[in-house]
Structure 1
Amino acid sequence: MASTDGHDGPGDARAWRVALRQLKRRSIKAWLVTTLFQVLARVGHRPRQWLGAFLGILAPILIRHRAQVVERNLELCFPARSAAERKRMLRAHFRAMSQTVVDRSVLWFGSPDSIRNLVRLEGLEHIRDAQAKNRNIMLLAPHFVGLDASASRLTLEGPEGATIYAPQSDPDIDALVRLGRGRFHQVHLISRREGIRGLVRKIRAGIPIYYLPDMDLGRRGAIFAPFFGIEAATQTATAQLARQFGMVVFPVLSFRDPGSGQYLTKVLAPLADFPEPNGTPESDTIALNRHLQDWIEQAPEQYYWVHRRFKSRPPGQPGLYR
């Protein structure tokens, strides 16, 4: 397996199978976890839904500290909603998030047809049109819980892509995640430790990037821009990359249907106002947060609220989390 300092996906099915065998030889834990996902990939859709529902009930209890983060984020971002409604949102959030963990079994070990049945894709023609015109492409993916479903569905269509990747603390789990995310075609996983420089090399090579714009990575390289009415540390790199390389920016939204258990990945038409011709990185970043808020409002319980989005505060302001 490649190191976490940067990783290119196997690129073909034979290389992927070799990497899978190597992963299962790493340790008993790696064998057990990988085999569990392989088994889950072969069971029916309904049993996976039952398992996801069960884990969704347990999750707020077992990871109470994360449930407290979700509770606080919802309180901050939706103050007009009642406590009972926010509680319902919290339960729906953990239900969706737990299901996405179970469904990674299909994304990583299911057949291509099973992935297409699980994840419907709309708007691929937008990307194909930009590729035909040799445009630099940014797939702008907010942190919805179905993020991995969208990424796998898009890499299934290929042919190549790159994204920044946060290595997992457990090396066996990290190896499994990298193997799963690099399953189809050529996927370049750029370690967050390598940062933007590694991503820039892929952009210059004409490779589309899958870019996540909405994590609190600290004050460095960020401004405090309104997000649901709260000043949130937001990286300006999204706007800077789009402007510097003349990128066409396609929002990629991922929604899970609670009724069917299927996902919808929507590639929207390119943003006409990002970056603004006469804008600045700061004004573009503020505008981007407005877009993010509009998209999140479509399915607020499916946003990644377990992240402490407001952990960095402007100078002199107190922390918002207990």
Structure 2
Amino acid sequence: MQFLAYILVYPIIWLISILPFRLLYAFSDCLYVLLYHIIGYRKKTVKENLDLVFPNRSEAEKKRITKAFYHHLCDMTVEAMKSLTISEAEMKKRFQFKDLDVIHDLVGKNKSIALMCAHYGSWEWIFVLQTYVDVKGYAVYKKLKNPYFDNLVKKIRARYNSYLITTKETVPTLMHAKVNGNQTICGFVSDQSPKAISAHHWTEFMGIKVPVYTGAEMLSKRIDMSVVFFKTKRLKRGYYETTFELLAENAKDYENYDITDTFLRKVEAQIEDAPQYYLWTHKRWKHRDKVPAEFQ
């Protein structure tokens, strides 16, 4: 059944991917009507999240954010499909980088890099970064249930010398590279919600205490990686600009969780500036009522 689903859906994805951008975003507009107005995909979750983090904003303002968010979500969905056939030149034109000197400086110092980001802006085309540096790239991801689509996603990322690794594969993969003297760049989407029972650190995020992932920071301390925050800004439809900011050249010099907390403050600033580009369908604050006594 999984292979059948793949052979039925893949041609549709491919056909969408070869659309010129004008038609691609017209399709995105149709997808918006379907998801927001007809299906109502996770609208309850989006409303609960916005009510939690923006209690002082008007209902009209939150509705505006909601609609803009769903438009952006649909754009990211079709842009992910476009990744299948988009050329390197086109991707570089649409996903540009500022402050690449931050990355080049660390690579020149023989440092491996942990890139921390949030579910904000766009992360679909970040992999083109590998065309600017001669260092093998990895990204931590959640494996897809359908192995055929999982292999497809891996193949797309590998176009630019970037490779997807699961959480379980992360430590052995990066440790192996370290032992063999190979530099790496590894991307961590670090604003997700870990299981409350296994969380080592709780802190406020958008004014609400939640458990947070600390894997990027702790792994950086363990194998001496520098930590860089990358912030993606939407310039206009289909065009993005990513800025790099050094959080820690030598992670071991920082107290535990300082790097993670600094990262979260920067994500909060992104959200406050343009909230419509955050992934509000994610149940980020679902453990807010389970704060252990030692973290209260």
Q: Deviation digits for residues 31-58 of structure 1, max 9, x if unmatched?
A: 3433333333332211111111221222
Q: Distance in 1 between matches of 2:50 and 2:74?
A: 18
Maintained 8 Å contact 1:232/1:312: yes
- Name the structure 1 match of 2:112: 136
Residue aligning to 2:266:
291
Normalising by structure 1, what TM-score? 0.79
1:66 pairs with 2:42: yes
Deviations 1:224-263 (A, max 9, x none): 2100100111022232223333332221122333xx4123
Q: How much has 1:181 moved relative to structure 2?
A: 2.1
Give per-residue Cα distances to partners, 1:154-194, cap 9 Å, x unaligned. Answer: 23435421121101223333232222222222x23211344
2:67 corresponds to 1:91: yes
Work out whether 1:256 is the aligned partner of 2:234.
Answer: yes
Q: How many residues align?
A: 287
Structure-1 separation of matches of 2:8 and 2:186: 33
Q: Aligned pair 1:243/2:221, yes or no?
A: yes
Find the counterpart in structure 2 of residue 21 from structure 1: none
Alignment of 1:204-223 (within 5 A): 205-219=182-196, 220-223=198-201
Give the 3-state SS of the residue equivalent to 1:235 in structure 2: coil
For 1:3-14, list aligned pairs within 5 A.
Answer: none
Residue of structure 1 equivalent to 2:31: 55
Partner of 1:35: 11
Q: Find 2:210's aligned residue among 195, 212, 232.
A: 232
| Identical amino acids, percent of aligned pairs | 23
Task: Note closer, same or farther for the CA distance 1:94–1:146 as it changes in structure 2 (3 Å cut).
Answer: same
Q: 1:82 offset after TM fit, Å?
A: 0.7
Q: Which runs of 5+ in 2 are unaligned?
A: none
Tell me how far apart the structure 2 counterparts of residues 244 and 31 of structure 1 sit (CA, whole Å).
43
Alignment RMSD: 2.6
**1:180-219 to 2 correspondences below 5 Å:** 180-185=156-161, 187-194=162-169, 196-202=171-177, 205-219=182-196
Q: Partners in 2 of 1:135 and 1:193 — Cα distance? A: 23
Distance verdict in 2 for CA 1:60–1:273, change over 3 Å: farther
2:67 pairs with 1:112: no
CA distance in 2, matches of 1:197, 1:69: 36
Distance 1:164 1:197, change over 3 A: same
Cα 1:42/1:316, change in 2 over 3 Å: closer
Partner of 1:155: 130
Q: Pick from 273, 277, 282: which aligns with 1:307?
A: 282
Shift of 1:81: 1.0
Q: 1:234 to 1:274 in 2, by over 3 A?
A: farther
